[in-house]
Amino acid sequence: MPKVAYNSGNTNVRCNNKTAQMGLFNFFKKQDKQDQTPQGTLMLQGPKYLRKNLAIPTPDLIDIVKIKYPDIQWIGQLITSTQNRHFKIQYYGDLMNNETIIGSDKGVQRLIAIDSSTDEEILLFDKTVHGWEGFITDAYEEQKSIPRLVDKIYRTKKNADTFRILFLAFYNYGTKQELLELKNAEGQVELGNGSVLNIQDAFDDAFDAVVIYAIDDNGNRFELINEELA
């Protein structure tokens, strides 16, 4: 599948460095309309690996990033164990358009959020282990041995380096159905690395795409991550 970078704020979708006009929701409709009904009892509750560090966004941030399709989109705001919501970001990878973190020629991106007050670190996103390809199929197994040091500090053109973080995950109907077809009699799914999870836990971390936004103290929004993962 060609690499697609999503932008939930409009209908521009960048495909292989070319811009196509395409509705985000249309991309996720991988089945016929008669199949577009949520299957089974799987709930849309966001990534499990970040659950203790994600909260309902504050009202001003909800206005910045609006959820258009609540049946496939989930959003949370990053918090620390002390409920702080301001972070510095360090990452491995390269920058596209001086804003979005992408993989380098040696490995896919990885980034951590650091509490600006206590220095508590949170693994925000690692493409080798998060999302459908990394988590379910183990598609980047060979890259796990690559030393991807998160030693670059994320700064904007105006030198802002402290942000509030929004995590926007997309869950496709088609991959939900695929998980349901893969589950065994006990309601479990075997992952590409051989581990076995109950289907809800597998679904939670099997998001098909992710957009992570950083918002500075002036309310300016920056796109940290914009990745298709299935």
**What are the sequence ranges of the domains in the chain?**
32-228
76: how many CB neighbours lie within 10 A of its CB?
A: 20
Amino acid in the structure at residue 101: I
Q: What's the average model confidence in pLDDT over 155-175?
A: 95
Would you place residue 31 in the very low, low, confident or very high pLDDT band (cuts 50, 70, 90)? very low
Would you place residue 16 in the very low, low, confident or very high pLDDT band (cuts 50, 70, 90)? very low
- Residue 128, Cα to own-chain centre: how many angstroms? 12
111-128: pLDDT as tens digits: 999 999 999 999 999 999
Higher pLDDT, 29 or 219: 219
Contact by Cβ (8 Å): 78, 122:
yes
Higher pLDDT, 41 or 86: 86
Determine the Cα–Cα distance for residues 54 and 68; give it in Å rounded to an integer: 20
Q: For residue 73, what are the β-bridge partners?
A: 170
pLDDT at position 13: 29
pLDDT at position 40: 55
Contact by Cβ (8 Å): 107, 85:
no
Higher pLDDT, 153 or 30: 153
198: how many CB neighbours lie within 10 A of its CB?
A: 12
Higher pLDDT, 80 or 16: 80
pLDDT at position 175: 86
pLDDT at 59 over 60: yes
